[in-house]
Amino acid sequence: MNRKQPNMNVGAAGLFFIFSLLFFILIYRFLSIQITGEVDGQVLAAKAQQKYSNETVIEAVRGTIFDRNNEVVAEDASAYTLVAILDESMTTNPKEPKHVVDPEKTAKVLAKYINMDESEILQRLTKDGPFQIEFGVAGRDISHQVKSELEKEKLPGIIFTKGSKRFYPNGVFSSHLIGFVEKKENDAGRTETSGKLGIEQSYNEVLTGKNGSLKVKSDLWGFLLPDAEKDITPAENGDNIYLTIDKKIQTFLEDAMNRVDEEYKPEKIIAVVADPKTGDILAMGQRPTFHPQTREGIDKSWHNEIIETTIEPGSTMKTFTLAAAVEENVFNPNETFQSGSYRVTPKSVPIRDHNYGRGWGEISYLEGIQRSSNVAVAKLVNEKMGVDTFRNYLTAFGFDKPTGIELPNEVSGKIQYEWPIEKVTTSFGQGTTMTPLQLVQAATAVANNGKMMKPRIIDKIVDSNTGEVIEQIEPEIAGTPISPETAKQVREILETTVTNEEHGTGGNYRIEGYNVAGKTGTAQIPGDDGRYLTGRENFLFSFLGMAPTEDPELIVFVAVQQPQIDESTNGSVPVSMIFNPVMKSSLQYLNIQPASQGKITSNEVPNVSGKGIDEAKKLLQETGLKPVVVGNGEKIVSQLPEAGVNTLEGERILLRTSGDEIIVPDMMNWSFRDTMKFAKIAELNLNKAGNGFVTKQSIKPGTSVSSGEYLIVELTTPLQEVEAEEAAKDSDNSEGESETVDDSSSAENNETEEVVYD
């Protein structure tokens, strides 16, 4: 026993030491918590507050987007999320179950109300383990009406949680400009809403607002304490944004694009309507597009084509080349030049006019603009104005920088201006690129008497709670590239491209009751290999127009890329199917009074039989008609159309003179109708080959013929001309490969002609 005593003492001492150490650790821990009030870096008071208080998030309402007339474009609306309780412990009274008791029946009923297969719903309802489940996208954003109908079904375990959704009442409505919102969970497990694309993205912080909270104290088990104080932090709703978009005009545009998209199935449609006096964008749209509510179609195009994609403008660029030439006082409408083809340098590929490079002989510069002659504008830049001066105007018109519109991801075009030929091809819109919005901005200078207006999409930002205007966006002048006198003269010239029946390329864009000034364009499309695509459909057909000419209230730009058109359809047809109804409907909606139609109404053909040639010609020309004399006598013996017939300005009137000799006129580019008139008055037998306009005639112009002879004409449609043009290009390019070009540029070795269907 005595031998065990020392071992017992050692053990006791060890235990005493251990318990003493634990005691001191406990005392230290207690004092540490007492002094710092923290455990593992967390404040105990805050944890206690969290334990004994209930906090509810008060969601901020996202700001509403309105159009210029206070019509709602995008707003938050109440929505519900469908939830199914699966945990049986939630049911305390079997007669009133609080969980899903019949998954098969529940799945069958729910499949009638949400976009999910019954089998998938059943699979979710029969999962083991989860307390509750949701139904993904199909179960979110449930409307109040659907919620009410489901509640009438009295399905046990089916409940709803309240929330909100972004609502776009107009459906597909300038979707790339407006954008959409997306909901995602953050790291704290809370749902956050963020804007994607358009205004929803660029003004996300303005629209979002700030969530509030409601805190109420509770006991240990989570029950609210009686008379507990509520700590409320109000939500700060997002601000409202008022756009310059006009819902009515945007609807005109959407409807017109839908018709063309359905009928011609183009690769792309781009369209903008603007107020030239303020720069306000009244409508903007494109195809393909998407539905902002469902996102259907978003996979086809994520980009706003009007500001994020550049194009070669084609002959619409001649608007600004003409403006620069007029401003520099080098444009003489009556001066003549030799049309057809033109070489910038002796060894460069020729610039050619769109009719196989044949041109129309020696014509005036005014007629060159009306006919959309590439040679005309090339000579104006290279020989009259100078390429350096022209380059300054490109900057003045804003083509080398973004417009600064209040939309995300805007880009700028690229001005190709290194080699001599590039400097000249820019004059008719080839090689150099720009965005459609840059074209519209530049056009405001022509329409607004020299003042170029910065495009504006936001009118004002308003506090959604107080109605106070936080920010008012005023119209801004982006530059004054031309004078008011120049702008007026350019508009008058561009009007003749629409009204002149013989030479004008814009005849399809006539609008009854309104004078339209504008320029057509048919731009080639570069392929992946850097060469232009070939084929009759592979063009970007466009029109940049303004009306009324004398004081434009609207600018409309429309471009249709690669429409599916047949051989008899001009590429301007699908473009005019958008431009014409949108322009006319919008002018009428804005109460713009129609102008007199002196130039395009029908005129009665006067009787000139028995009159001398000079007198007859003068009388017809004063009436707006074009006389064509087919004899060498002194008096007029017959005419077609006959006297008293109503006809349009510019109509050819065939005049036969006394004597038996008949002189054959040059019928190049005549319609078959005019050719038939000549054959009838000359008493010739007429045969034709093909359709369209005259490109060849069997009897040379100026030849004397007798009645009864045969006249054969070959007709070609504009699309057939394009195919022949492509063959000519290939021939030119193959010849150019064997030449040595001093300023070896890739642009020099590419075809420089723009093919225009006009």
**pLDDT tens digits along 418-429:** 999 999 999 999
315 is catalytic: yes
With residues binned 3-state (H G I as helix, E B as strand, rest as coil), the percentages for the chain, rounded to 5, are: 35, 25, 40
**Count of residues making up the chain:** 758
Which mean pLDDT values do the consecutive 10-residue runs of the chain (758 residues) have?
A: 59 74 75 61 49 61 95 91 88 89 93 93 88 86 88 92 87 96 70 88 93 62 52 84 97 97 97 98 97 92 95 97 97 95 93 89 96 96 97 97 96 94 95 96 98 98 94 97 97 96 92 95 84 83 97 98 87 95 96 66 78 88 85 87 77 84 85 84 83 82 85 72 53 43 33 39
The pLDDT value recorded for residue 726 is 52
- Express each pLDDT in 312-347 by its tens digit: 999 999 999 999 999 999 999 999 999 999 999 998
pLDDT of res. 527: 80
What is the reported pLDDT for 742? 32
Given the residues 164, 202, 315, 373, the one annotated as active site: 315
Cα distances from 312 to residues 24, 72, 371, 427, 431, in angstroms, run 84, 36, 20, 11, 7
- For residue 548, say if its preceding peptide bond is cis, omega within 30 degrees of 0: yes
pTM (2 decimals)?
A: 0.72
- CA-nearest of 378, 379, 372, 393 to 328 is 393
> Residue 8 has what pLDDT?
66
Provide CATH code, domain 247-589: 3.40.710.10
- Give the residue extent of every domain in the chain: 55-243, 247-589, 603-647+651-719
CA atoms within 13 A on the CB side of 712: 3
Judged by DSSP in three states, 244 sits in: coil
Q: Return the closest-CA partner of residue 110 out of 143, 82, 130.
A: 82
pLDDT of residue 535: 76
Name the residue with tokens 């127009």.
545
The contacts of residue 732 (CB under 8 Å, 6+ apart) are 349, 350, 751
Q: Angle, nearest 10°, between helix axes 387-396 and 318-327? A: 110
Q: CA 284, CA 303: separation in Å to the nearest integer?
A: 13
Measured CA to CA, the distance from residue 647 to residue 627 in angstroms comes to 13
Measured distance CA(418)–CA(128) in Å, rounded: 71
Q: How many CA atoms lie within 13 A of 437 on its CB side?
A: 31
Q: What is the per-residue pLDDT for 703?
A: 86
The backbone region for 235, taken as left when phi is positive above 0, alpha when psi lies in -120 to 50, beta otherwise, is: beta
Ordered alpha helix ranges (H), 397-435: 420-425
Would you state the CATH architecture of domain 603-647+651-719? 2-Layer Sandwich (3.30)
Separation of alpha carbons 370 and 506, rounded Å: 8
pLDDT of amino acid 569: 82
- C-alpha angle 734/735/737, rounded to 5°? 70
Q: Cα separation of 758 and 582, whole Å?
A: 21
Q: What fold does the segment set 55-243 form as a domain?
A: Penicillin-binding protein 2a (Domain 2) (3.90.1310)
Phi, psi angle pair for 198, to nearest 5°: 55, -150
Query: Helix, strand, or coil here: 338?
Result: strand
Q: What is the pLDDT of residue 5?
A: 61
